[in-house]
Amino acid sequence: MHVNLMPDASSEASSLLWLNKEEQARCRQYPLPGPRRRFALCRAALRSILCHELGCGNERLSFGLSDYGKPFALVDEESAPISFNLSHSAKHGLIALVPHGRLGVDVEERVPRRDFDEMSEAVFGPHEQSALARVRGRDRVRLFFRLWTIKEALVKALGLGFTLDVSQFEVPQALHQGRTGMFRFPQLPEVRWRVEYIGNENFSAAIAHELLPSQLGDRSLQRQNGNVSEKQGVCQ
């Protein structure tokens, strides 16, 4: 679900009505209007969609935080049977949700950076750096943000924050251009993740979703997504 985060006083006022007292207080604590608006609009959209999916009233919905700061949904203070994740960048917010399995999403507007080279060395592995060195200009910017959003979606899905060294795993080659692929963290090879790149002309974005054992046996997933290639996508 895409959330339009363009400044709009009416939308912002409406969104505040969805937030509980703690969220409204948090909103007021943002010193800058942009982050305040993005938080309010995204949290209101998240509440709306979760209430719809869980069949509950807004007043019954609250959020908890994992040890690493990843939020999860509570209904009547009990953990809700849904997995979600949210990301925003400038004018764009994205919310993803699934019934089961860990989930991560990331969106970034492609703003050229003066520290591309330093950042590439810091956050990408050798194959990723080589791929970036082979392209120039606009293509380089697009590949940088494609690789970064995929990495961050995976990090968010795993839920350990940046205690994980992002340069120690690499985005599979299949995902340098393709839309979908499978992935395993070298540190956690028993868990497989389905990755989808959903960027467009306006932004880079990716979703990573943990495949549970029941889904691994479901060959229909691959039939439905013809370009999903387990063999090509796996990062060993």
Partner 1 sequence: MASTEERLRQLADENLEVDGQPVGKLLDLDKDFTDLGVSSLDAVSFAKVLEKEFNVSLLPDKAGEIQTIGDLIAYLEANAS
Across 76-201, the runs of DSSP E, i.e. the strands, are: 78-79, 83-89, 92-98, 103-108, 180-185, 188-197
Minimum distance from CB of 129 to partner 1 (Å)?
A: 15
Give the count of residues interacting with partner 1 (CB under 8 A). Answer: 25
Residues 70-99 that bind partner 1 (CB under 8 A): 89-90
123 binds partner 1 (CB under 8 A): yes
Kind plus residue range of the DSSP H or E element containing 74: strand 71-75
Minimum distance from CB of 46 to partner 1 (Å)?
A: 16
Which one, 152 or 196, has the nearer CB to partner 1?
Answer: 152
112 binds partner 1 (CB under 8 A): no
Minimum distance from CB of 192 to partner 1 (Å)?
A: 23
Closest CA to 116 of 128, 100, 99, 103: 128
Sign of CA dihedral 122, 170, 70, 142: positive
Q: How many CB atoms lie within 10 A of CB 135?
A: 14
**What is d(CA 84, CA 91) in angstroms, rounded to the nearest whole number?**
20
161 binds partner 1 (CB under 8 A): yes
Interacting residues toward partner 1 by CB under 8 A:
29-32, 34-35, 38, 68, 89-90, 108, 113, 115, 118-119, 122-123, 148, 152, 161-166
